[in-house]
Amino acid sequence: MFEILNRFFAFCDTENRRKFHLAILIGVFNSFFMALRIAAVAVMMQGIIRSVTKGTAFSTKTIWLSFAIICVSVIAAIITKKNMSMLQTEGGYRTCAKKRIEIAEHLRYLPMGYFNKNSLGQITSVTTNTMELVGDVATRAVMMVMQGLLDSALIIFMIFFFDWRIALVALAGFVLFQLVNLLMRLSVRSVSDEKNEADTKQVEKILEYIQGIAEVRAFNLTGSHRKELNQVIDRCIKICISMELRCIPISAIQSLVAKLTGVAIMLCSIFFYLNNTMEVSNCVVMLICSFMLFSALEAGGNYSALLRIIDIGVKKAQAILDLPTMDINEKAGEKIGQDSLEIKASDIVFSYDKKRIIDGISLTIPAKRTTAIVGPSGSGKTTLCHLLARFWDVNSGEVSLGGKNVKDCNMDALMANFSFVFQNVYLFHDTIAKNIAFGQENAPREKIIEAAKKACCHDFITSLPKGYDTVIGEGGASLSGGEKQRISIARAIMKDAPIIILDEATANVDPENEQELMAAIKELTKEKTVIMIAHRLKTVRHADQIIVIDKGRIAEEGKHEELMKLNGIYARFIDSRKKAVSWKL
């Protein structure tokens, strides 16, 4: 148990860890002030017995002393409880918030391969369910367990001042209670692993169902597809019920042990009093202590079963934070390639798991020139672009920018040189203006409008009800494909990076939008280094160099006219495209 508690505190950042430690320290005082009630009862009982045995009047001084102790106990307990609760609440929720931000920042510097191996559902589960446990359940459970231990320990400690024999009985009950508590934690170990796995699967399935709802409805698979989702949800329900069923019998035994400990203290106290080895005042105090100890034990024991789930959640979040990033310790503001931003790849090799995608490619992309990359589907075009921009690290070989190995560049400094326009554009649930100025919070509206005009999207934006302040749906769901592409280009124009990567940016655009989109791309790529993946003839034929990729290797390289004379892959590719364009119904 203490190992789990230590791991939880280590997971918290320094500031919030101090809050928890201070909450525990205040908890010690809270337990002490709560235990003062024993002293108040003892003073009152001794006064009563003294007055009865001596036949004297009951001293008002005793009443006021007992009342004063009770007042100090109650007031101080309220104050310490309030401060302790505030500290643990702040520590929990702020840890949750900071860890979410920390995970998000950490994900920025992970290789893109991580996101292929780990589903969106797992990351979402960690940043939602797991962090909710840390921020809500974990803090309460940890503090209740700690407070239960502290209260029990202090009550047993104070009992030693009255009668060491009763203290030993209480200590034996405390140890037995902790053994039963350990049995409970062990019993839920396997189920808690299953519960965390089931929670992740549930999030994955819900996201998959929502994201693919259009296809599900189009193929009339609503019932069968929902059946899979229902099965995942039902499994979560069954695991939660199974966990409760495992806990309930042991929890009942735990509660029985706590009650029997109280009964044992009562019986022993009465026995010692009847044998004239304990004063009646001490006997009454011990009877009251038996109830207090029972309450303290149960308060901590009831939450301890959650520690295992919390521990797994903390480990899952920490596992993401422990993943090695692609960054190195250099200044983010450093300049790369002061004289030239020429890109070179030297005999680079890259594999997904055991499948080799890029197999010994060497190429040079001159600065301020346009390079087109073409090839069959699955040949490695997009992967090559991702390696050049260091979305992944090569397995062997070297990629350099401006004569510097990209592995030796700070990630932020490296990314400042690249702008991307992908085939599938993602826009955020925010205003159009903020989507265009993404990453530039204080960008002036004039600069945003200028970028929108260059990207040929100013007219359709101003026709919207709120213009640039129109909030678009997540992923840009309320806009057409061409409109999303032009906003993406406006975003790239705002960034004004020297290298532009276009990954089939015009592939899914209708003919009505294509002309405006091509004009936007032309404006974007002025005086820039352009790397484009494209399938359309008019997009690639005017490139300064064309690189043909086939099966992870460079099959052909040159200008349009040179490659056409070779009558190879590129010539066949162009011929098939011409036939596709000329085909009419």
182 or 381: which leads in pLDDT: 381
Burial of 60 (0-12, 13-18, 19+ CB in 10 A): exposed
**Closest to 388 (Cα-Cα) out of 379, 399, 396:** 399
pLDDT at 489: 83
Ordered DSSP codes for 432-448: HHHHHTTT-TT--HHHH
Ordered DSSP codes for 495-534: HT-SEEEEESTTTT--HHHHHHHHHHHHHHTTTSEEEEE-
Do 427 and 483 meet the contact criterion of CB atoms below 8 Å apart? no
pLDDT at 181 over 80: no
Whole-model pTM?
A: 0.65
pLDDT at 567 over 80: yes
pLDDT at 332: 47
pLDDT at 348: 92
Q: Chain-wide mean pLDDT for the chain?
A: 79
pLDDT at 540: 77
User: Where is mean pLDDT largest: 231-240, 398-407, 436-445?
Assistant: 398-407
What mean pLDDT comes out for the span 14-34? 83
pLDDT at 41 over 50: yes
- The predicted-structure confidence for 46-61, as pLDDT tens digits, reads as follows 777 777 777 666 678 8
Do 171 and 158 meet the contact criterion of CB atoms below 8 Å apart? no
pLDDT at 585: 44
Mean pLDDT check: name the lowest of 73-77, 222-226, 239-243, 466-470.
Answer: 222-226
179: helix, strand or coil? helix
pLDDT at 180: 83
pLDDT at 450 over 60: yes
Angle at 525 between CA 539 and CA 332, to 5 degrees: 130
Residue 443 φ then ψ, to 5° = -65, 135
**Closest to 404 (Cα-Cα) out of 342, 457, 450, 361:** 342
What mean pLDDT comes out for the span 263-272? 89
Helix (H) or strand (E) holding 277: none
pLDDT at 131: 80
For the chain, give the longest Cα–Cα distance: 125
- How far does CA 467 lie from the centroid of its chain? 34
Residue 155 φ then ψ, to 5° = -65, -45
pLDDT at 333 over 60: no
User: Where is mean pLDDT largest: 229-233, 366-370, 406-410?
Assistant: 366-370
pLDDT at 273 over 60: yes
What mean pLDDT comes out for the span 377-387? 85
d(CA 298, CA 375): 69
Q: Which two tokens stand for residue 266?
A: 């009562």
pLDDT at 584: 47
Mean pLDDT check: name the lowest of 90-94, 295-299, 368-372, 426-430.
Answer: 295-299
**Closest to 456 (Cα-Cα) out of 426, 502, 493, 421:** 493
What mean pLDDT comes out for the span 485-501? 85
**Closest to 476 (Cα-Cα) out of 521, 417, 429:** 429
Mean pLDDT check: name the lowest of 97-106, 120-129, 384-393.
Answer: 120-129
d(CA 398, CA 199): 41
Count of Cβ atoms closer than 10 Å to residue 156 Cβ: 21
What whole-number percentage of the chain has pLDDT above 70? 82
396-401/404-405 β-pairing: antiparallel
Mean pLDDT check: name the lowest of 127-141, 248-262, 268-282, 453-467.
Answer: 127-141
d(CA 533, CA 334): 29
Angle at 329 between CA 328 and CA 332, to 5 degrees: 95
pLDDT at 330 over 60: no
Q: Which two tokens stand for residue 7?
A: 């791991």
d(CA 119, CA 115): 6
CA atoms within 13 A on the CB side of 348: 29
pLDDT at 148: 77
What mean pLDDT comes out for the span 76-86? 88
Do 421 and 495 meet the contact criterion of CB atoms below 8 Å apart? no
d(CA 559, CA 259): 88
Do 367 and 342 meet the contact criterion of CB atoms below 8 Å apart? yes
Mean pLDDT check: name the lowest of 93-107, 181-195, 437-451, 463-477.
Answer: 181-195
